[in-house]
Structures are given as C-alpha cells and as structure tokens.
Amino acid sequence: MSQPSDKKVNVYTISLGCPKNRVDTERLLGTLGSAMTPVESVAEADLVLINTCGFIQPATEESVTTILDAVREIAEVSGETGKKPLLCVAGCLVSRYGQDLKTELPEVDLWLTTEEIHLWPAMAAKALDVPVDRETPRNVSTSPAYAYLKVSEGCSHNCRFCTIPSIRGPHKSWPVEFLVDEATQLAESVPELIVVGQDSTAYGSDLGPGHDIQTLIRGVAAIPKLEWLRIMYLYPAGLTESLLSVLKEHVPPFLPYFDIPLQHAHPDVLASMGRPFARNPEKVIDRVRSVFPDAALRTTFIVGYPGETDAHFERLMEFVRTTRFHHLGVFPYWPEDGTPAAAMDNQVPDEIKMARRDALMELQAGISEDILSQYVGETLPVLIERPSDEWPGLYEGRTWFQAPDVDGITYVSAPPDVDIPLGTIVDVEIEKADTYDLSGLI
C-alpha cells in the first residue's frame, strides 16, 4: 500500500519509437498515481520525461535531437522563472549509449536504462520525492479508442541486422495473470486492445506450462467489454496451425489482421539475415489464408541488405505483386554498430537502397489502391478516433484492417445533428477509396 502524499508534480512526456516504448512510459506514469498531472509544455513541468528509441540511426538521431531541444527549453525556462524542471531520459538510447550520453549530456538529472525497467517507478518517485503508487492503472496516452498491451520484453532471436537483443536483452514475458488483469482494466475505457511484443508468438516461451500465446489469447478474448483484439509482431515461425485454430475460435473479438514481419522474400537474403523461420515466406502466407481466406496482411521489408542483388530484389517485387498485402512498410538497411551485418562485405550503396525502397512502395501503392477500391459500396465497422480538423461533422477512424499509426485511416462524415462519441464503433457506408485511406457516411 502506497503512503498518501499531498505533493503534486507536473510531468511533460515525450515517448519516441515503438508502441512498446509507449507502454513503458504509461506504466511508469501510472505508478506516480494521483501525484502526477500531465502537462503540455516544458514551462509547466516539474519533470520532463523523454523515453528514447535507439533501434536504428534515424531513431537515434531523433532521440538525441529531442534531448538537446529539451535541454535548451529547460535552460530558457530556468532563466526566465528560476525554476528548473528535472530532466529524465529513459529507454533504448540510454541502454545502447549510456556512458557516452552521460558524458556528453551532464544536464540530464536522471537516466533510466531498459535493464532497470522494474526499478523505474522507484527511481522516478525518489527523484520527485513522491511515493510509488502500485494501485493506479497505467496512464494511457492513446486516444479513447484503443490501448496497447505489451506482453514481453527483449528478444532471443539472432537476426544479424538487429540491435534489440543487445539493447533490451533476451525475451522475457509478463505473467498471464498480470496481463489479463491489466487488459481487463484497459477494456473498461477502450474498445480495442493491441497486443505488442518483439515477437508476440514467442510469448510465454520463457515461463513454462500455462504461459503461452494461446493461453493469453483465451484469457484476453474472454474479457466481456473487449470489442476488438488486434495482435502485432506475429513472427512467421510462430504462426502454427494450432495458433491459427485458437485465433479462429476467438473471432470476435480477434480481428483477422496479421502483422507478419517477413523482412525479405528471397531465401538467400533471409539466410544471410539469420531470420528465425523457414525461408519460404509463401508457406506462412498460405497457412494464414487457409484458415482466414479474407485476412488483412501487413508486413515490413528491408531493402539494400548487404549482398542483395538485382535478382534478389526482383524476387521480392514479384512476391509483393502476387501476395497483395493490405499494408506494407519498406525500410532501407542501416548498418548498425555492433551488429554482424554491419561488418559484412558487399554493402549496398545508399542510392540503390533508396531507389529500391521507392520502387517497392510505388508497387504497393497501386496494390493498396486496388484493394481499398473493392470496399466502395460496402458497409464497414469503423472505430472513431477523433474529430477531423477538415470540417465540422467529419471524423477520423479505423476499420478492422487498419492499425493505428502504421496504416491508413477511414474518414467518416456524420449528419450535422449527429455527435459521434469517440471510442465507439459505428457502421459506415464506404463511398470513396484513395491510395491508403477510405471515406464514408454513417
């Protein structure tokens, strides 16, 4: 039981990177309980919390720039008011470059590494001189429509391009009981839960019997108020017939949306990457579609990996043409310090990486537009996220095959006398399809 405290602290938060980082931030803020008030600027803050990403070079650069901007703003506020907010920097960048950062940025008051994530509440509370509140739920920072359910930390795969195992450590799952309890609390206020983990299919592999992804799905899907359940980061090797059968049994709330990070389609490139699954991606696609014929498929690919030839890339292009993904992310390969791939021969020139990325995204744009055009005239369920800035009566939402932030959106027009509560699911008649977005009427 936490001790009561009258002290109040204003917290300005920036959470960079993936949804998993966002959950870390939300859990930390929740443990500050009623002492914490979120604010919208550094000038109002007693604590400035930046949760960083250090996965690839662009993310590292963004994190460093954000910290430097905060240092400058804090100095300006301090000069004007005499009050200096505490600056706390947390997350992957700290774990990857900790000592160098501490040397270069003495203005930071508190550093939180991912290795110490279980200590974050105590460390932050001590710095702020407030008690840790273990009873307050997460301070959810997403819209009223959804929340993320982070099921694990780290990764035990050995992909040769990836820094995650060295930053976050090996795969570690949260217990089923903890996650079902957290999911139950979240479902009281949001209709959709989105499961995230570095490899969601590996959930529970470190915990023993009774803790696995199938058990977790059964527990979460049974929550009465939950309307939509979406699972991200489904590694190909983990999408077994047994798992697919369990997912089929739990529709609804499970949405037949499959986020499968394939990274490439050519077996030589996949072998060089050290990807942890059979090197024929067609097999996992066929397996999913045999159980869910109308599944929405999302994936990510890396282009310009060391040794990727024109023939390798053309195989990837053909795979995308024939598979017809609903959604596709393409990233040029970044040679990250400390990874085996960075030391490989046959590094691909940057201009070729960018050209391949652009060509693949141009191909996908046509596929996406064609797929979305087939929904025109249909009535789809749409989860309302927010009012649009375009004009009164226009809302932004997502249908079942659109995940937040990474996919397109659905614009919903309502009659002038209709006010749609945020976080509700409404039936929308689709009238128009663009390359990545839909538009319709209620």
Q: Say which CATH topology domain 379-441 has.
A: OB fold (Dihydrolipoamide Acetyltransferase, E2P) (2.40.50)
Block residue for tokens 């017939």: 241
309-319 pLDDT tens trace: 999 999 999 99
Phi–psi pair at 75, nearest 5 degrees: -65, -40
Closest to 172 measured CA to CA, from 150, 140, 147: 150
Residue 392 burial (C-beta neighbours within 10 Å; 0-12, 13-18, 19+)? exposed
pLDDT value of residue 5: 56
Contacts of 77 (CB under 8 A, 6+ apart): 42, 43, 83, 84, 85
Closest to 395 measured CA to CA, from 408, 406, 382: 382
Q: Where in the chain is the domain with CATH 3.80.30.20?
A: 146-373
391-402 pLDDT tens trace: 889 999 999 999
Block residue for tokens 């949306």: 257
194 CA to centre of own chain: 9
pTM of the model: 0.93
Closest to 135 measured CA to CA, from 6, 12, 20, 35: 35
% of the chain residues with pLDDT over 70: 98
Q: How would you write 348-413 as a 3-class SS string?
A: CCHHHHHHHHHHHHHHHHHHHHHHHHCCCCCEEEEEEEEECCCCCCEEEEEECCCCCCCCCCEEEE
Q: Where in the chain is the domain with CATH 2.40.50.140?
A: 379-441
pLDDT value of residue 1: 40
pLDDT value of residue 219: 97
Enumerate residue ranges in the chain where pLDDT < 70: 1-5, 278
Give the whole-angstrom CA distance, residue 167 versus residue 385: 33
pLDDT value of residue 2: 45
CB 326 within 8 A of CB 373: no
pLDDT value of residue 278: 57
Phi–psi pair at 163, nearest 5 degrees: -95, -5
CATH architecture of the region 9-128: 3-Layer(aba) Sandwich (3.40)
Q: Where in the chain is the domain with CATH 3.40.50.12160?
A: 9-128
Mean pLDDT value across the chain: 93
- Partner residues linked to 149 by β-bridges: 195
Give the whole-angstrom CA distance, residue 432 versus residue 182: 38
Closest to 15 measured CA to CA, from 24, 6, 2, 27: 24
Residue 427 burial (C-beta neighbours within 10 Å; 0-12, 13-18, 19+)? exposed
Q: Say which CATH topology domain 146-373 has.
A: pyruvate-formate lyase- activating enzyme (3.80.30)
